[in-house]
Amino acid sequence: MKINRRLFVLGLILALASLVPLAWMFLIVTSKGPPSPREASREPAIPDGPPIPTSHIPTASERLLEGYADPSTPPIEDLKKVQRVVAGYFSVVKDASRFPIGGNADLAAALRGENPNRETYLPEGHPVFSKDGLLIDRWGSPLVVHPEAWTQLELRSAGPDKIAYTSDDLVMKPSGK
């Protein structure tokens, strides 16, 4: 019984001892009072902080197109990159009835956000778009987009001569070949 009483007293002393620092802090805070007008005028109304970055975060499609039209890469790589973006588009957009892809203008518009999901894959002004908003190859010619099925598009670059359906054309079949 004596041991229980001693433990109770010891616990009570520890509990009171832990309240002393809290009471001390309360007295310090309440005794200071509100700042004088002179002190308040020295404090900035809005604290200075680092500027909020407004940098552009590239979409997944923009990352897939990194290095597009880079002269150090083979031109067929450009078509492969566009095909990867198109594959990503068709993996998300499943509704063929409202925004069918009939050619370059349709595909370009769909990638800019004119699609059933209203999702932007590539922003307006991306280097893959011409001033007219069409998908272009590294020579500045519009890509020929030929749909073979809803999710299967053949991509054709007119090549260096900028004339489609000649011997220097680059073609990417839906199969990736």
Q: Which residues 6+ apart lie within 8 Å of 117 measured at CB? A: 92, 93
The per-residue pLDDT for 174 is 87
Q: Are 65 and 81 in contact (CB under 8 A)?
A: yes
pLDDT at 48: 57
What local confidence, expressed as pLDDT, does residue 8 receive?
A: 75
Residue 158: the pLDDT is 97
In the sheet that 170-172 helps form, which strands lie side by side, from edge to edge? 144-149, 152-157, 170-172
* Weakly modelled stretches of the chain, pLDDT under 70: 1, 14, 16, 19-54
Q: How many CB atoms are closer than 10 A to CB 141?
A: 19
Per-residue confidence (pLDDT) for residue 131, from 0 to 100: 96
